[in-house]
Amino acid sequence: MTQGGNAPLAASRVTVEVTAPKRLDVSGLLLTDAGKVRSDADFVFFNAPNGPGVTHRPASGGTPDAITVDTAAVPGDISKIVVTASLDDASATFAGTEPTATVRDADTGRELVTFTPPRLSRETALVVVEVYRRGSEWKVRAVGQGYANGLAGIATDFGVTVEDEPASTPATPAATAPPTAPPAPAAPPSAAPAGPPPMPSAPPAVGRITLDKGRVNLVKGGSVSLEKNGKPFLASVRMGLGWEPAGRGRNIDLDASVIAFDAQRNKVETAWFMKLSIFNGAIVHSGDNLTGEGAGDDEAITVNLEGVPAEVCGLVFVVNSFSGQKFTDVKNAYCRLLDASTGEELVRFDLTHAEARTGVAMCKLVRQFSGEWVMTAIGEYVDAKTARAMVKPAASML
């Protein structure tokens, strides 16, 4: 097929395989006549592999990532399924490595059509093909439309909620923006200003210590200053988060994220598996781990403390179970802070119990009025499957 061309489908169940010299993540979005998803449940990808009539098949061995469409099971108000591909490496582009879509009969494996888009350049994600209906007939169209802002750009275009502002907190007008540094300790109640209280200038003193004596093990509620000998110790840190499946042979798909807040506890940005880099690379997410298996950190988030915008006063690191599995199915969950330049472990917090809930706030980094950063272990469970749902509870924990 050539770009813009279409062809009738010779099978009622088709699999769209997408291959490229670079590792890909393939997704499918179910769209109405308005060109939008009905809800986030119409976004089918590695973390949500089953939708109505559409399934995701992960790459395995020599079998590539693919989306399978059972046209007979697609809801009547869905007019098309777009198949997308994004690069696993957030720093890479499709330049010179254009992907190829192969549409097969899902039952026999017979090749029906193939499509490779024209030469690409800065694109990091692509709508490759779309499977659509015309009356009672189903067809496939070669699209090849590229995006420079990754899968999040595609998802947003089609109505998937990639990020939300906290429902109860309107955006702050520029004329009344909060200060670029946390305020001083709050005044007595009689003189306190109206509105939400500002972030405290220091976390509660439950064993707050420094790094003067080396590596620190924190307990829930404990804090450690990222200073050594009275001076800032680190310019760049890495937060490693890990876990293991509690049941033998059962994969647990958890997602680690970090939510950045300003002094008034309003969300500024979120780094998560759909948006791996924020603040011009000051905070970078390592990418999604689908099982939690293997030694070492499952996901990591690197923070260049000096590059975090001045308006950001708190970072809350959270872990969620997108697929709905409870943390009682997880064991050995932990977070640890490392020197990003040397890999030396500085602070560790191990969760010693689990709750049958889908989200947990692991820890927070809070910037003090002096510029000092303090890490505090949280370990609070909530019912939240995504980082977006963690915004309100995380804000209350600052």
| Angle of CA points 384, 388, 392, to nearest 5° | 75
Task: State the Cα–Cα distance between residues 222 and 397, nearest whole angstrom.
Answer: 14
For a pLDDT cut of 70, what percent of the chain falls above it? 81
Q: Within 10 Å of residue 350's Cβ, how many Cβ atoms? A: 16
Which pair of structure tokens corresponds to residue 8? Answer: 């009738």
Rg (CA), the chain: 23
Which has more confidence, 88 or 335? Answer: 335
pLDDT at 100: 94
**Residues 140 and 218 grouped into a single domain:** no
Highest mean pLDDT among 12-16, 161-165, 185-189: 12-16
**Residues 213 and 287 grouped into a single domain:** yes
Residue from 216, 85, 164 nearest 384 by CA: 164
**Residues 337 and 275 grouped into a single domain:** yes
Backbone angles phi, psi at 215, to 5 degrees: -55, 140
In this structure, is residue 80 part of a structural domain? yes
In this structure, is residue 1 part of a structural domain? no
User: How much is the pTM?
Assistant: 0.57
Mark which of 157, 192, 211 sits at the end of a domain.
157
In this structure, is residue 196 part of a structural domain? no
Q: Identify the burial level of 262 via C-beta atoms within 10 angstroms of its C-beta, where 0-12 means exposed, 13-18 middle and 19 or more buried.
A: buried
Residue from 396, 150, 86, 351 nearest 259 by CA: 396
**The residue type at 70:** D
Mark which of 157, 173, 194 sits at the end of a domain.
157
Alpha-carbon 200 to chain mean position: 28
**Residues 25 and 89 grouped into a single domain:** yes
Which has more confidence, 271 or 234? Answer: 271
pLDDT at 166: 38
Which pair of structure tokens corresponds to residue 122? Answer: 């800065």
**Residue written as token pair 């800032």:** 232
Task: State the Cα–Cα distance between residues 90 and 125, nearest whole angstrom.
Answer: 10
Task: State the Cα–Cα distance between residues 55 and 142, nearest whole angstrom.
Answer: 20
Helix, strand or coil for residue 163?
coil
In this model, does residue 193 exceed pLDDT 50?
no
19 pLDDT band, cuts 50/70/90, is: very high
Mark which of 157, 187, 221 sits at the end of a domain.
157
In this structure, is residue 313 part of a structural domain? yes
**Residues 22 and 116 grouped into a single domain:** yes
In this model, does residue 55 exceed pLDDT 90?
yes
Task: State the Cα–Cα distance between residues 42 and 371, nearest whole angstrom.
Answer: 44
**β-strands 216-218, 345-350 pairing:** parallel
Q: Identify the burial level of 253 via C-beta atoms within 10 angstroms of its C-beta, where 0-12 means exposed, 13-18 middle and 19 or more buried.
A: buried
In this structure, is residue 248 part of a structural domain? yes
pLDDT average, residue stretch 260-265? 90
**Domain membership of residue 288 as a residue range:** 203-396
In this structure, is residue 71 part of a structural domain? yes
**Residues 227 and 370 grouped into a single domain:** yes
Number of domains observed in the structure of the chain = 2
**Residue written as token pair 């659509």:** 132
**Residues 247 and 379 grouped into a single domain:** yes
In this structure, is residue 172 part of a structural domain? no
124 contacts 118 by C-beta, under 8 angstroms: no
342 contacts 183 by C-beta, under 8 angstroms: no
**Residues 137 and 232 grouped into a single domain:** no
Task: State the Cα–Cα distance between residues 187 and 194, nearest whole angstrom.
Answer: 12
**Residues 14 and 151 grouped into a single domain:** yes
**Residues 145 and 210 grouped into a single domain:** no
Q: What is the pLDDT of residues 199-223, one digit of tens each?
A: 544 444 344 577 877 788 888 888 8
Length of the chain equals 398
**Residues 356 and 243 grouped into a single domain:** yes
pLDDT at 182: 40
In this model, does residue 197 exceed pLDDT 80?
no
Helix, strand or coil for residue 159?
coil
**Residues 105 and 213 grouped into a single domain:** no
Q: Within 10 Å of residue 148's Cβ, how many Cβ atoms? A: 12
In this model, does residue 355 exceed pLDDT 60?
yes
Task: State the Cα–Cα distance between residues 354 and 146, nearest whole angstrom.
Answer: 43
Which has more confidence, 130 or 170? Answer: 130
Helix, strand or coil for residue 388?
helix
CATH code assigned at 250: 2.60.60.30
Backbone angles phi, psi at 57, to 5 degrees: -115, 115
In this structure, is residue 192 part of a structural domain? no
Q: Which distant-in-sequence residues (6+ apart) come within 8 Å of 228 by Cβ?
A: 210, 211, 212
Which pair of structure tokens corresponds to residue 136? Answer: 């009672």
